[in-house]
Structure 1
Amino acid sequence: MLPKLPIGQQDFRKIRTSGALYVDKTQAIHRLVTEGDYYFLSRPRRFGKSLTLSVIKELFEGSRELFEGLWVEENWDWERRYPVIHFSFSSMGYKEVGLEAAIERALDRKAAEMGLELSGQGISYRFQDLLKKAAREMPVVLLIDEYDKPLIDYLDKDNLPTALAHQKILKSFYSIIKDNDANIHFLLITGVSKFSKVGVFSDLNNLRDITLSPAFSTLAGITQSELEAYFGDEMDLIAAEKEMLPATLRADIQRWYNGYSFDAKNFLYNPFSLLNFFGDRQFNNYWFASGTPTFLVKLLRERNVVQLDNIRLDAVAFNSYNLERLETYALLFQTGYLTIKSLDEFRIYTLGYPNLEVEESMMRHLFSEFRHEEVGASGPTVIDLRQALYANDLPTAIEVLDSVFQSIPHQLFLQKREAYFHSLVYLTFRLLGIYTQSEVNTARGRLDCVVQTPTHIYLFEFKLDQSAEAALEQIHSRGYADAYRQSSKEVVLVGVNFSSTHKAVEGWKAEQVE
């Protein structure tokens, strides 16, 4: 029987005193706090950053009773204690009172907790005073969580001036750290993104960024070996309940929630989704649903970015620094919607979706964003299309495709008709599932879509403001069907032409390959 699951719990003390499950990360944390002193770590939301900081806080405060039975218990000097200053920007309330006032409140609150009284006006002076007074006997441990929250909350175009104003305030606040080296024993700053790192921390040239460091790639997130060690028996029980083979259940869990990597070697499970799965015993989109990326989805539509597989970038691209010119793929990686799939000898990274949860959810949100409808409305459309194809009912399948384009606001479609058309076709067929390949590369070109059912293989080619005959002719002239002629299934070629004027299917033709 599993211990209590700490779903959404980020306080190490509460987890340990309540008897909840804690996956022991203290060996990696010990390495972090003993090998260096000034760190920056970027990880997606709900990935264990806040809990890591909470563990470090209790470690430096000497709370040995909380570490009973953990690796670090016998590998730490419990007599040596440090004052800890721990801030989390997610709980500062800056939206209500303004960022400067919120920071000043947090400084005063921390000073009161430590029995100190601050002097001076302004957050920089008061922060300086707090560090100096807190370090009178021992240098302080400074832990700052979600440093970028006051920025990422205001990234959309309408609120960009607020984000830029916040960046200046944070730069002033953090500039104090550089001149307080003697007062700081250890520093860890965490956040989701790095896009503001240069603007905010430009004075902290001794801040070590461990985001892509192999040495700390498994500091947050759950490894395969940790999954087996802590959840192995529970997986066997769930497999029995569902009348599945244990290996099949494990493969499904991996497909849904594994896949995050920050070094192209270690692949991690999302802890939030994993804990929710074991709590509910159902596969669901837990992480994605906990914070829908409305801003990102709109940005992807505006930039017409829908293909998020096999993205190749060099290391420089990961450092998306400019609030006014956000790098699409770097931002998607930092926020957890893309992850590292591989790294070649030329230091080129290949990015893609980490797992089924993220891929399916992002596709549905993009599909709905392009159609200007609620996310839940996309489900019936996809199901209707899948059922029609599985029944070999092409007329109904074409009717469903027609309805997809009819739903687009006319003016929006006219503005970007060619790009919009191809993006929506791509998303529609990607949502059909695992037996669908969109934009399939061949030796002589790229076929728009291949759909395989138990009995048929459909090769689709789509045209805009041309003709169904032209679409079929392209399939023939480029030999797209050659790779499928040996299949035991019936191979059907389908050419479809859309009218941008009427936003509708203007004609279609199908041929069976003999």
Structure 2
Amino acid sequence: MGIYLNPGNEQFAVSVNSELYVDKTELIKYTNSRMGKDRPLICSSRPRRFGKTMAVTMLSAYYSKGCRSEKLFTGLKISQNEFFVTHLNKYNVIFLDIQWMYGNALEEMKRNSFVKVVSYIQEQVINELKKEYPECVQDTDVSLPSVLAKVNAMTKEQFIIIIDEWDCLFREDKDNKELQKEYINLLRGLFKGTPSGAFLKLAYITGILPIKKYGTQSALNNFREHTMVSPRQMAEYVGFTEEEVKTICKEHDMPFKEMQRWYDGYYFEKAGHVYSPNSVIEAVDSREFGNYWSGTETYESLMTYIAMDFDGLRQLIVDMLGGQRRSIDVESFQNDITSFHSADDVITLLIHMGYMAYDSKTKKVFIPNDEVRSAFLRAVKNDGWEEVIRAINASEALLRATLAMDEQAVAQMIQDVHMQNSSSLTYNNEISLSSVIALAYYSACRDYTLVREMPAGNGFADMVFLPKRTSLNPAMVLELKWDKTAEGAISQIKSKRYVSALKEYKGNVLLVGINYEKKSKKHQCRIEKLEW
């Protein structure tokens, strides 16, 4: 048993024996299914504190020859699988925590300027391989892929390679292109080519970023990638599912509705609603709901990314703060944190970091929940978006006035938001008007899902506020007009039967008509209640 070669199962044992452990061992069923198949290479990228390290320590504990884990897995879901014993502790495992190894290499470089990070990583593993296979490894060997190829050629032994924080060098030393090139070449040696096909039984790598692209091609295009944009078979292992969270709340006497409001929002077709494991665990541990994202180093990066100077980026963020979902192109992102060419690239990175959620069906992106929204709010405050903050601070009063059907107060408050934000947001048509309205109703995001241009009746409703499962508020249908009348907006909602889109909703509906007169720069509002 070594540090890198055939490690033990102690770290996974700590997870299993912790007060709050959610059984994700059926992930092993999927990794087992890839062995002996073409391309047994898996890359699972997900945000920080979404269970990446727990997954890799579990896989290592299951496969590694360096430990005996049958007792540890007894009673867990994978132990009921017919192939459980077939692969249990049967393989040579090489486990690399790149974040940890990178830190050690930097310390070595302080003492010896000739040390190089990628060479250091290879040297540490080769030293352990030499102890295990002295007849195969020479003192002059410096290439880890070559050593593994020699061991395989002489002994027919194969290896499972597990890498945690595979993308660390791209994030921690983002401008060091030479280091990144050396690292990619190492990974290509480990995972591409005929020799690696012989010595590799399975590869599982995980990090925040998907595999780096060069142009339109992945640097390791033989990997099966599972990302926050497309998790595929890995969807239910990305975070805690809703059923798992319900069980946690019941066992620990926590209100599920409040847990849902704070941490729900990610959704994958194959898994349903997904929650951030760290946030749920922290809430249970502290007995308090709140924002646990700000404690991660990625929060500091958030402020940097939202301040980037790309046309439309600020508008996108403001729209999503207001609860809107916006279409973006996720394909152009190069999967690193330096090669940004558009606002869409920045937003795509935020999806991978967990600050945005992505609906693969509609190709739209949105802020997933109250926790993440509060992190954005704190970031825009720190970045000096003063006019946006004023609008957000006033939004609670606007929602109360709308629910109270106070037309004059609603018109005046929207007027104030318009005037405050005229310098930062375009405001020359109904589309831009809807952006200001969405921002003005920021606090409604706590209780509503905002749908813009919702297909309804004989047309498209400008804005529909659908109550969330945790809300008792009525639905709201907003129609926006430019140089017309608020009464005309209400008439359009009725004549085009926009409310018919609320097929599964039962309860009161507020019809809200808002008009802006360009000449007088005034807003008018009309509100009617409809029982549905």
TM-score by length of 2: 0.67
Q: Which residue of the partner structure matches residue 24 of structure 1?
A: 23
2:24 is aligned with 1:15: no
* Secondary structure, counterpart of 1:495 in structure 2: strand
- Give the Cα–Cα distance (whole angstroms) in 1 for the partners of residues 43 and 244 of structure 2: 25
Aligned to 2:97: 87
In structure 1, the partner of 2:484 is 470
Q: Which of 345, 354, 369 is residue 336 of structure 1 equivalent to?
A: 354
CA distance in 1, matches of 2:491, 2:243: 51
Q: 2:438 aligns with which of 397, 416, 426?
A: 426
Name the aligned partner's letter for residue 32 of structure 1: T
Count of residues in Structure 1 that have an aligned counterpart in Structure 2: 463
Q: Which residue does 1:495 correspond to in 2?
A: 515
Query: Are positions 1:139 and 2:158 aligned together?
Result: yes
Query: Structure 2 counterpart of 1:128, which letter?
Result: P
C-alpha change, 1:250 and 1:420, in structure 2 (3 Å) is same
Return closer, same or farther for 1:79/1:281 CA change in 2, 3 Å cut-off: closer
Partner amino acid, structure 1, of 2:289:
F
Whole-angstrom distance in 1 between the partners of 2:340 and 2:367: 27
1:230-269 correspondence runs (5 A): 231=248, 233-235=250-252, 237-238=253-254, 249-269=255-275
2:283 pairs with one of 254, 277, 285: 277
Show the counterpart of 2:313. 302
The equivalent of 1:506 in structure 2 is 521
In structure 1, C-alpha distance between the alignment counterparts of 2:428 and 2:378, rounded to whole Å: 20
Q: Is the 8 A contact 1:494 1:509 kept in 2?
A: yes
Aligned AA (1:207): F
- Map of 1:125-204 to 2, 5 A cutoff? 126-128=143-145, 131=148, 138-152=157-171, 162=175, 167-177=180-190, 178-179=192-193, 180-181=195-196, 182-194=198-210, 196-197=212-213, 202=218, 204=220
SS across alignment from 1:268: strand
Letter in 2 for 1:382: S
Per mean C-alpha deviation after superposition, the further-off stretch among 475-484 and 218-227 is 475-484
CA distance 1:78–1:379, shift in 2 (3 Å): same
Do the aligned residues in 1 keep the contact of 2:266 with 2:275 (CA within 8 Å)? yes
The equivalent position to 1:219 in structure 2, one of 237, 241, 266, is 237
Question: Does the alignment pair 1:55 with 2:61?
Answer: no
Deviates more, 1:379-388 or 1:191-200: 191-200
Q: Which runs of 5+ in 2 are unaligned?
A: 1-9, 132-136, 501-506
The verdict on how the C-alpha distance between 1:421 and 1:186 changes in structure 2, with shifts beyond 3 A counting, is: same
Alignment counterpart, residue 43 of structure 2, candidates 40, 43, 46:
40
Distance (Å, rounded) in 1 between the aligned partners of 2:428 and 2:100: 41
Q: Is the 8 A contact 1:47 1:272 kept in 2?
A: yes
Q: CA deviation at 1:32?
A: 0.5
Q: Cα distance 1:176–1:459, how it changes in 2: closer, same or farther (>3 A)? A: closer
Secondary structure of the equivalent of 1:64?
coil
* 1:93-114 deviation digits (Å, cap 9, x = unpaired): 499979x933333334444566
Q: Distance in 2 between matches of 1:163 and 1:498?
A: 52
User: Which residue identity does 2:276 align to in structure 1?
Assistant: N
Residues 93 and 159 of structure 2 are in contact (CA less than 8 Å); yes or no, is this contact kept in structure 1? yes
CA distance in 1, matches of 2:44, 2:508: 52
- Mapped to 1, the partners of 2:400 and 2:222 lie a distance apart of 59
Query: What value does the CA root-mean-square deviation take over the aligned residues?
Result: 5.0
Once the two structures are superposed, what CA deviation does each residue of 1:372-414 show, in whole Å capped at 9, x if it has no partner? 149987653323333444555555555544554555594x558
Q: Distance in 2 between matches of 1:445 and 1:194?
A: 37
Offset, 1:48: 1.4
Which one-letter code corresponds to 1:14 in the other structure?
V
Deviation at 1:50, TM superposition (A): 1.8
Q: How far apart, CA to CA, are the structure 2 residues paired with 1:253 and 1:426?
A: 25
Instruction: Report how far residue 278 of structure 1 moved.
Output: 1.6
Pair 115,395 (structure 1): closer, same or farther in 2 beyond 3 Å: farther
Helix, strand or coil for the counterpart of 1:470?
Answer: coil
Partner of 1:241: none
Structure 1 residues 439 and 95: alpha-carbon distance in aligned structure 2, compared to 1, 3 A threshold: farther
Aligned AA (2:72): F
CA distance in 2, matches of 1:461, 1:439: 11
SS state at 1:275 partner? helix
Matched position secondary structure for 1:40: strand
Once the two structures are superposed, residues 416-472 of structure 1 have per-residue CA deviations (whole angstroms, 9 ceiling, x without a partner) of 977876534322224334358564545456546779997997956365xxxxx5353
List gaps (5 residues or longer) in structure 1: 1-9, 239-248, 343-347, 464-468, 500-504
The residue correspondences of 1:107-126 to structure 2 (distance < 5 A) are 107-111=122-126, 126=143
Counterparts of 1:55 and 1:513, CA distance in 2: 57
Report if the CA contact (8 A) 2:214-2:334 is conserved. yes
CA distance in 2, matches of 1:260, 1:153: 27
